[in-house]
Amino acid sequence: MSAASTLSPLLETLSDQLSALRPRMDAVSRAIHARPELKFAEFHAQAVLVDWLAESGFVTRAPHGGVETAFAAVHTGRSPGPRIAVLAEYDALPGIGHGCGHNLIAAGAAAAAIAVVRALPDHPGTVEVIGTPGEEMGGAGKVRLAEAGVFDGVDAAVMFHPGDHSSLARPGLAAAHLRVAFTGVSAHAAISPWLGRSALAGAQLFLQAVDAMRQFVPPTARIHGVVADGGQAPNVVPAAAAVDLYVRDRTAASVEELVGRIRDAAIGSALATGTSATVSETGPMYAERRNNMVLAGLFGEAVHALGVDIGPGSTDGPAGSSDIGNLSVLLPVIHPYIQIADAGTPGHSEAMREAAAMPFAHDRTQVAAAGLARVVADLLTDPTVLTAARAEFSAGR
C-alpha cells in the first residue's frame, strides 16, 4: 500500500516499512490460517511468529509466563522510556478454524512491532510483542499471563480485531464460565426407575429455571448454555449430567450477582429431583472492557489517513466477551475493529473464516498494523500521549 501525500512523515515511514513487510506478513497469516489450533495447543502459530520476530532482531522467550504456547519478543531501545506491548492472538475455534480472524491479529501485531523498530532504530523504551494464546472458549490466556506478572511494568497494550465493520471501540461484557454438574443414582430405566434419581432431570429442570429467570434479569444480561453430559444410554437412569453455561453482563459485579441466582436455581432443581448439584467455574471471569479513547483516537487518525473510514463505535451495542477486558482494568488498552468482510458477516462463522484468508483482509490488516504502529511510536516518543492515556485510565477506575 503506497503512502498518500497527506500522511505525516512518521506515518509515511511506518506505512513504507509495512509495505516492505507485507509478503512475510501475508505468509505468516496464511500459515496460521491453514493450520488452525485450539486454545493452548497453538505450537505451530507460536513457532511461526517467534521465528519471524527473532529474525527481525527481537529477543524472544517461549514458553512465557507459565503458559506453554505464550511468548514474548522484546526490542529494547537505546534509552529509558515506556514499555509498550503489542498483543497477538492466534488460537482457532473448534469445527470452524479461524472464524475469528486471529491469524490476522497475530500477523498484524508482529508486523506493527517490526515496523516501529525499523522506522525508529534509536527509539527509547521497549517494544514487546506478547503472544497471548487461549482467548477463545473461556481460555483466559491473558488472565493467566497477568497473574504470572507478564504485564507488570507494561505502560500500555494495543491490538486490533477483524470484523464486519470498522470502529474505534466496542463494548465487551464481563463473563463467568460455569459448569453445573448434577449427581443422581443410576437404575434400570424400565425395570426399576423408582430406585434411581435422574441427574438429567435435574439438569433439565435447571435449564427451565434459567429460562424462567430471563424476564427478571437486566436487559443487558446474557445467559446461554448447552447440556455437556446427558447420560450414556436411554435404558439407564443417568447418575451424572452437566450443563456448561456462560453468564454475561455489562459489569463483573452484575455477573457475580447473576451467578448467585444461578447457584440458587441449581440447588432448587437438585432438591426437586432428589439429586445434588455443584456449580464450578471452568475458567477465570472475564472483566468488562474499558477502551482507552486517547489511544484509540490516534489509531483512528492513522487508518483514516490511509483511506479506511472508521467510526467511534458504540458503548452500549451488542457485545461478546474477551480476556482483553481483564487487561483493560489494569492498564490503558485499545482493541479497535477493522472491517475485513461484508457488513453483516457473523463472527465465529465459516464466512468469516473464508474472509480472513482473502487479499482484502490482508490489505486491511496492513492498515490496522500501521494504526497500531503509529500508536506505539507516539507512546515511545511523545510523553504527553502516555500522560493523557493514563489520565483517562485513572478517571475511568
Contacts of 282 (CB under 8 A, 6+ apart): 138, 177, 178, 179, 244
Q: Residues 21-33: what's their mean pLDDT?
A: 99
What pLDDT shows up at residue 2? 40
Kindly list the strands in the beta sheet with 240-249, ordered across the sheet, starting from the edge strand earlier in the chain: 222-229, 240-249, 174-183, 276-281
Q: Label residue 124 left, alpha or beta by phi (over 0 means left) and psi (-120 to 50 means alpha).
A: beta
Question: Among the listed ranges 44-48, 191-195, 313-317, 320-324, which one has the minimum average pLDDT value?
Answer: 313-317
pTM recorded for the entire structure? 0.90
Q: Where in the chain is the domain with CATH 3.30.70.360?
A: 174-281
Average of per-residue pLDDT values in the chain: 96
For the chain, percent helix, then strand, then coil, each to nearest 5? 40, 20, 35
- pLDDT (average), residues 94-118: 98
Give pLDDT tens digits for 368-384. 999 999 999 999 999 99
Report the distance separating Cα 96 and Cα 350, nearest Å: 6
Report the C-alpha gap between 372 and 360 in whole angstroms: 18
Contact 64, 72 (CB under 8 A): yes
CB 164 within 8 A of CB 342: yes
Confidence of residue 3 (pLDDT cuts 50, 70, 90): very low
Q: How far is residue 317's CA from residue 334's CA, in Å, rounded to a whole number?
A: 18
Residue 397's pLDDT is what? 62
CATH of domain 174-281: 3.30.70.360
Q: Where in the chain is the domain with CATH 3.40.630.10?
A: 9-172+286-395
* Residue 130: pLDDT over 50: yes
Ranges of beta strands (E only) in the chain are 59-61, 71-76, 79-88, 124-131, 156-158, 161-163, 174-183, 222-229, 240-249, 276-281, 333-334, 337-339
Render pLDDT for 136-180 as a digit per residue (tens, 0 to 9). 988 999 999 999 999 999 999 999 999 999 999 999 999 999 999
C-beta of residue 142 within 8 angstroms of C-beta of residue 157 = no
Q: Which residues does residue 241 pair with via DSSP β-bridges, in sequence order?
A: 182
Specify whether domain 9-172+286-395 bears CATH 3.40.630.10: yes
Q: Tell me which of 4-8, 115-119, 225-229, 281-285 is least confident.
A: 4-8
Using a 10 angstrom Cβ sphere, with 0-12 exposed, 13-18 middle and 19 or more buried, the burial of residue 76 is middle
Exposure class string for 134-165: b at 16+ Cβ within 10 A, else e: bbbebbbbbbbbbeeebbeebbbbbbbbbbbb
3-state secondary structure of 248: strand
Residue for grid cell 429467570: 213
Which set of grid coordinates corresponds to residue 46?
A: 507460536
DSSP, res 367: H
pLDDT, position 384: 98
Mean pLDDT in residue range 355-370: 99
pLDDT tens string 294-328: 999 999 999 999 999 999 987 677 788 999 999 99
3-state secondary structure of 81: strand
Question: Above pLDDT 70, what percent of the chain?
Answer: 98
Instruction: Report yes or no: 184 and 236 within 8 Å, Cβ to Cβ.
Output: no
- The owner of cell 438429567 is 200
138 phi/psi in degrees, rounded to 5: 70, 20
Spell out a b/e string for 225-248, using b for 16 or more CB atoms within 10 Å of the CB, else e. beeebebeeeebbbbbbbbbbbbb
* Strands 71-76, 124-131: pairing kind: antiparallel
At 14, the pLDDT band (50, 70, 90 cuts) reads very high
pLDDT over 90 (residue 4): no
